[in-house]
Amino acid sequence: MCGIFGYIGKRDTALELVIEGLKKLEYRGYDSWGVAAELNGSLFIEKQVGKISEADLSPIKGKNVHMAMGHTRWATHGGVTQINAHPHFSWDKKIAVVHNGIIENYEEVREFVGKEKFVSQTDTEVIAHLIGHFRQTMPFKEAVLAAIHKLKGRYAIVVMNVGEPHLIAARRGSPLILGIGKGETFLASDIPAFLEYTQDVMYLDDNELATVGESVAFFSIETGAPLEKRVVNIDWKAESAEKGEYDHFMLKEIMEQKDSILRAINQNDEEILEIAEAIKKSRGCFFSGCGTAGKVCMAAEYFFSIIANRHVNFAPASEFPIYHHFLRPESLLIVVSQSGETADVLEAMEAAKKKGAKVLSIVNVAGSTIARTSDYSLQIKAGPEKAVASTKAATSQLALLLLIAYAIRGDLQEGRRVLAEAASAVNDMLNPRFLTYVKGVAENIKNHENAYIIGKAENYPMALEAAIKIQEVSYIHAEGFAAGELKHGPIALISKGTPCISLIANDEVKQDIISNTIELKARGAHIIGISPENHEVFDQWIRVPDVGVASPLVNLIPIQLMAYYLGVLRGHNPDMPRNLAKSVTVK
């Protein structure tokens, strides 16, 4: 949610580097963008509405500087306009700021610095004026510290001050990472943005500030005292964050499930058993996550019940804090997050920690805030996921949670066998013939404005996930239901030809969901069955392998492909759905 990129160092192409970095961060927000640098002793700022990948870069050409910063925006406060795009600057044009997060007390600060100074409708502009205010009487770093002491909310900021040879970065609640190269330093909202230049990173943690110039120094925001920091080497390849031969990241990431599921279950046995033990010992085990990760958590409720005979509770992270009444030191909160930076998840963790409960996180991004601030953390090892719609992360999260459920039952090796079989089934499915077939199904329904998906047991959360996938990529109004709930309302929405997708597994509830599918058909629905076996009720059948309780892993594959093709066929860019962002770092 908003991307920040900064550069300072030996190259004089800082503005171009920032533009390239922002393009890699575009998935975090793409309604407008802007860059700032110091040119001949004054502030140069270029801002444009629209995607940076489609921008007119002529104003940047030939401007050779060694220090620059930029921002790609996902609007929160203030509409999508050129003025509201970042960087924002102080009234005297000496201070420029890029910001990811939300300043909650911006109205109060606006009064403090003087309303007449403001040109935009954003919360961010208060930061620039506030720093400008203190800078009149204080050195750069002290002015930034004084300003952020007055701010409430979440932020990652990078600040430039005309005449100063360094940038200042600070964070509370939103990510910002330093990439340490030879004679140059990068600042970015995520690591892949600078991965082609360096794999050495330094994490800026919450309540920390860094001065980034010829050298880098870290300070506590609270006390201003210097902090010791380590350089960490990241084991990621730059090309894994590129599209390669594919038209879109989404398709590339769907195809990567050929091996990402296997990586997810390739975990250290001892660690998994320890986690299984912690879950068994807990009194009150809660799962929480947002969006797709939330649907995975919901599936875990079924996995834990069916496989491990264990009761766990799920609440979406935005709803979780209200459950604090049930939390105590023996409770365990398991959070699932691809990015490891989602604000609602961090708030859920805070609620649990306040009551002394332990937190286990399942994340994709190593070193993310959620990973670093939980008591135990496991990585799904899916590699960078760039498309806004989560695909490979979801199947990896499902696989790891299933494995843990087996470990709780005392059957870790059996779990591994079941999942290895499912992973190999996914590998087989992702062949060109299957892709063409699913594309054909998408062709058939692409002109409909409504679609419904039903599932039962562990495939009920997958029906909800299917709806998210179709909504975000194709903008078709899609909704998922528990198959048995149809007759209590949603069936009224069905008319002749309405596309309905039925997610079926070869399990004890198969006959029930078939009956529900027949009920839909009787009202005129066009039935797409996703199932190991064909049935006469299906108008179209997408065959998936029979992998027992791991069926959500295989049922999601055609759903992801169908959403992708629906998006493409309806003329949308599936990697950057309107109004959405990959990493949601605001509440």
DSSP state, residue 138: S
CA distances from 74 to 36, 212, 325, 357 (A): 18, 26, 34, 34
Which residue's CB is nearer to ligand G6P, number 177 or number 293?
293
Tell me how far, at minimum, the Cβ of 350 lies from ligand G6P, in Å. 15
Tell me how far, at minimum, the Cβ of 354 lies from ligand G6P, in Å. 21
Strands (E), 510-564: 526-531, 540-543
Which residue's CB is nearer to ligand G6P, number 16 or number 575?
575
From 2, 285, 290, 297, active-site residue: 2
Three-state helix/strand/coil letters over 342-363? CHHHHHHHHHHHHCCCEEEEEE
- Say if CB 540 and CB 498 are below 8 A apart: no
- Say if CB 471 and CB 480 are below 8 A apart: no
Tell me how far, at minimum, the Cβ of 467 lies from ligand G6P, in Å. 13
At 261, is the secondary structure helix, strand, or coil?
helix
| Residue 582 known to be catalytic | yes
Residue whose pair of structure tokens reads 């692409």 in the numeric block: 446
Distance, first Cα to last Cα, the chain: 11
Tell me how far, at minimum, the Cβ of 146 lies from ligand G6P, in Å. 33
Q: Which residue is nearest to ligand G6P (CB)?
A: 291
Which residue's CB is nearer to ligand G6P, number 172 or number 582?
582
Residue ranges that bind ligand G6P, judged by CB under 6 A: 290-293, 337-339, 342, 345, 388-390, 580, 582-584
Which residue's CB is nearer to ligand G6P, number 90 or number 374?
374
CA distance 13 to 577: 31
Strands (E), 460-498: 477-482
From 23, 47, 446, 582, active-site residue: 582
Which residue's CB is nearer to ligand G6P, number 68 or number 346?
346
Which residue's CB is nearer to ligand G6P, number 144 or number 362?
362
Tell me how far, at minimum, the Cβ of 579 lies from ligand G6P, in Å. 10
Tell me how far, at minimum, the Cβ of 88 lies from ligand G6P, in Å. 25
CA distances from 277 to 158, 274, 281 (A): 43, 5, 6
Among residues 29, 8, 138, 149, the alpha carbon closest in space to that of 127 is found at: 149
Tokens of 397: 């999260």
Instruction: Name the amino acid, one letter, at 302.
Output: Y
| Residue 94 known to be catalytic | no
Which residue's CB is nearer to ligand G6P, number 451 or number 468?
468
CA distance 16 to 545: 48
Report residue 93: phi and psi, to 5°. 55, 35
Which residue's CB is nearer to ligand G6P, number 88 or number 154?
154
Tell me how far, at minimum, the Cβ of 218 lies from ligand G6P, in Å. 26
DSSP state, residue 570: T
CA distances from 579 to 74, 79, 398, 465 (A): 8, 12, 27, 18
| Alpha helical stretches, state H, 523-570 | 551-569
CA-derived radius of gyration, the chain: 25
Number of Cβ within 10 Å of residue 507's Cβ equals: 17
At 117, is the secondary structure helix, strand, or coil?
helix
Tell me how far, at minimum, the Cβ of 390 lies from ligand G6P, in Å. 4
Tell me how far, at minimum, the Cβ of 356 lies from ligand G6P, in Å. 24
Among residues 150, 149, 107, the alpha carbon closest in space to that of 125 is found at: 107
Residue whose pair of structure tokens reads 């065959």 in the numeric block: 543
Which residue's CB is nearer to ligand G6P, number 204 or number 349?
349
| Enzyme catalytic residues | 2, 582
